[in-house]
């Protein structure tokens, strides 16, 4: 089976590509390398340097490769950029996704797996942990654009029969998450502190997040590929961790004395979130396996090796 993975040179997408190839799938990567890296590309995958908003080029790739399934990870994923440049955010995340969906219909794609957002889409919690029935009230443009595509998925399934699964991500962390391109607090803190730089905490550090290791996110995508249900699912750990606690855990791992710098809270960021994952556990058999502290050890090892080069 051939899988077309958009964003396959990026953080989560590249881990997914590795997992797909290890599981015996043939993989085609579409990535414009705006935030992805050639070094992340699995040599066993076929790579196209292409923008998902380029209708002609995307159509040509579908025609030439004839994939069986699409896994759509390419996105504008920076909350801060979405508030500064909402038109860019909407163009990539909404229009780019529609281009992928239109080509999926035209070329008889069997399944469409979509990487959505949990906290950014739900907005400030009305109750915790959040489940899939929680009201959708995003407070940033990124959350609006990512959730909008779920309406198109429902429409394309209802009207045209396109099968899909949408995975609503919490804070995914792990190796290959680049501080310059990602909003990942773990990689940002670890890389800065290993360089002897003080980490920056926006607000008072009491913001709480749900963290899932990248290999667990990749596993959810594999399970979604094997059983398409035409539903949206939360990923989560069922545990909330404050930004201040993230700092303290990393500080302990690094035996560091660096104190954080506190800066003004950023627009569009919610105060708390963590998620129930009962639905995906019941339907697809997914649950997180990597404890947060163990995942931190992996990220520290990755950055120690990278900074020695």
pLDDT of amino acid 269: 83
| Average pLDDT taken over every residue of the chain | 96
Q: What is the mean pLDDT of residues 129-135?
A: 97
Q: What is the mean pLDDT of residues 203-221?
A: 96
Alpha-carbon dihedral sign for residues 86, 89, 92, 97: negative
182 or 289, which is more confident?
289
Catalytic residue among 48, 114, 122, 142: 142
pLDDT of amino acid 266: 83
160 an active-site residue?
A: no
Does residue 182 carry a pLDDT above 60?
no
Domain 2-170+214-236: give its CATH code. Answer: 3.40.50.720
Q: How far apart are CA 239 and CA 208, in angstroms?
A: 9
pLDDT of amino acid 183: 65
Contact 1, 67 (CB under 8 A): no
Q: How far apart are CA 30 and CA 47, in angstroms?
A: 6
Residues composing the chain: 309
SS3 297: helix
Does residue 181 carry a pLDDT above 70?
no
Give the pLDDT confidence of 68-104 residue by residue, as tens digits: 999 999 999 999 899 999 999 999 999 999 999 999 9
Contact 12, 18 (CB under 8 A): no
pLDDT of amino acid 268: 79
Does residue 63 carry a pLDDT above 60?
yes
Q: Which of 95, 8, 100, 102 is nearest to 48 (CA)?
A: 8
Does residue 270 carry a pLDDT above 90?
no
pLDDT of amino acid 125: 95
Q: CA separation (Å) from 103 to 41, 188, 281?
A: 24, 36, 31
pLDDT of amino acid 39: 97
Of the pLDDT bands very low, low, confident and very high (cuts 50, 70, 90), residue 137 is very high
Give the pLDDT confidence of 97-127 residue by residue, as tens digits: 999 999 999 999 999 999 999 989 999 999 9
What would the two tokens of residue 227 be?
């059983």
- Please state the domain extents for the chain: 2-170+214-236
pLDDT of amino acid 309: 77
Alpha helices of 67-135 — where are they, by DSSP H? 79-84, 86-90, 96-106, 119-122
Q: How far apart are CA 70 and CA 56, in angstroms?
A: 17
Q: How far apart are CA 129 and CA 143, in angstroms?
A: 18
Give the pLDDT confidence of 6-34 residue by residue, as tens digits: 999 999 999 999 999 999 999 999 999 99
Q: How far apart are CA 309 and CA 304, in angstroms?
A: 9
Helix axes 96-106, 55-65, angle to 10 degrees: 30
Taking the CB of residue 262, how many other CB atoms lie within 10 A of it? 12
């Amino acid at each position: 089976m051939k899988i077309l993975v958009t964003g396959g040179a990026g953080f989560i997408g590249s881990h997914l590509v590795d997992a797909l190839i290890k599981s015996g799938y043939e993989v085609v990567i579409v990535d414009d390398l705006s935030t992805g890296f050639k070094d992340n590309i699995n040599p066993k995958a076929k790579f196209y340097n292409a923008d998902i908003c380029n209708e002609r080029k995307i159509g040509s790739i579908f025609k030439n490769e004839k994939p069986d399934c699409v896994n759509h990870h390419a996105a504008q994923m920076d909350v801060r950029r979405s508030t500064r440049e909402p038109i860019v955010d909407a163009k990539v995340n909404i229009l780019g996704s529609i281009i992928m969906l239109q080509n999926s219909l035209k070329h008889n794609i069997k399944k469409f797996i979509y990487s959505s957002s949990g906290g950014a889409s739900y907005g400030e919690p009305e109750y915790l942990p959040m489940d899939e029935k929680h009201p959708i009230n995003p407070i940033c443009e990124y959350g609006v654009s990512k959730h909008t595509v779920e309406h198109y998925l429902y429409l394309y399934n209802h009207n045209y029969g396109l099968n899909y699964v949408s995975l609503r991500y919490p804070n995914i962390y792990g190796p290959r998450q680049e501080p310059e391109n990602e909003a990942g607090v773990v990689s940002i803190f670890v890389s800065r502190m290993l360089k002897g730089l003080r980490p920056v905490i926006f607000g008072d550090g009491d913001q709480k997040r749900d963290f899932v290791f990248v290999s667990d996110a990749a596993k959810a995508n594999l399970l979604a590929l094997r059983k398409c249900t035409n539903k949206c699912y939360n990923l989560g750990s069922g545990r909330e961790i404050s930004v201040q606690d993230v700092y303290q855990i990393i500080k302990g791992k690094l035996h560091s004395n660096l104190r954080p710098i506190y800066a003004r809270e950023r627009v569009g960021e919610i105060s708390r979130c963590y998620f129930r994952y009962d639905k995906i556990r019941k339907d697809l058999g997914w649950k997180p396996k990597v404890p947060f502290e163990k995942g931190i050890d992996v990220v520290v090892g990755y950055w120690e090796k990278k900074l020695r080069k």
